[in-house]
Amino acid sequence: MSDQDVKDWISKQISGNDIVLFMKGTKSTPQCGFSMQVAQILNHLGVEYEDINVLEDMGVREGVKAFSNWPTIPQLYVKGEFVGGCDIVREMFQAGELQDMLKEKGIASNAETQTA
Amino acid sequence: MAMAATDIERLILERFPDAKIEIEDLAGDGDHYAASVVAEEFRGKSRVQQHQMVYDALKGNMGDVLHALALKTSAPQQ
């Protein structure tokens, strides 16, 4: 794929799914500690999400870094918006901000049942 | 490929001269660090923007020479 094709493909994934996680490996078999941490948080919250294994395509792996001017993987997107990498997602989860964001954007998660 | 903590600190201070920086070498391999950066320039910026500012200060080393930098950023307490 050309750079433009990669960019178009990436934005299609991001706009076509409520939650997209660009990661190394898959949600069931992550292949990097940072990717695993974000996948575990999402699995714990019980949300539906599209996991994209950047190890399968170097073009996507590099393209997604340029896409959000973010130099590392994993990258989490919610409703088309770049949320962050491992540090930010973990910090938001621990502060309850990630749970609030999901609720605000109308995405069902376990968080509601836990806090109700 | 690795990066010295002093180089990370120097690059960040070049961009944020008044920043308070703490860097911890997590694995002793020059590739995995944790850093906290407190700088006035972060005030009013989102976490993503704050981290991007630090990555820009590292001039392309982040994700390349430097594999992992667990980052914590904030503006000084008022």
CATH number of A69's domain: 3.40.30.10
**Segment 11-30 of chain B within 8 Å of chain A by CB:** none
Position A69 in a domain:
yes
Q: Under an 8 A CB cutoff, do B62 and A71 touch?
A: yes
Q: What pLDDT was estimated at residue A68?
A: 95
Q: Check the annotation: does A32 bind a ligand.
A: yes
Position A64 in a domain:
yes
Q: Is B38 on the interface with A (CB under 8 A)?
A: no
Per DSSP, B77 falls in state P
CA distances from A67 to A24, A54, A92, B47, B74 (A): 17, 14, 22, 18, 25
Per DSSP, B34 falls in state E
Q: Which CATH number describes the domain made up of B5-74? A: 3.30.300.90
pLDDT above 80 (res A112): no
For residues A5-29, average pLDDT: 97
Kindly list the domain boundaries of chain B, sorted by start residue: 5-74
CA dihedral B48, B11, A61, A32 (to 10 degrees): -80
Nearest to B63 among A72, A91, A92 (CB): A72
Q: Which residue of A has its CA nearest to B60?
A: A71
Reply yes or no: is the peptide bond before residue A71 cis, omega within 30 of 0.
no
Position A61 in a domain:
yes
For residues B38-44, average pLDDT: 97
Cβ neighbors of A34 (< 8 A, separation 6 or more) are: A72, A73, A74, A85, A86, B68
pLDDT band at residue B27, thresholds of 50, 70 and 90?
confident
Number of domains in chain A: 1
pTM assigned to the model: 0.90
Q: The domain containing residue A96 runs over which residues?
A: 3-107
Report how far residue B19's alpha carbon sits from residue B38's, in angstroms, rounded to the nearest whole number.
5
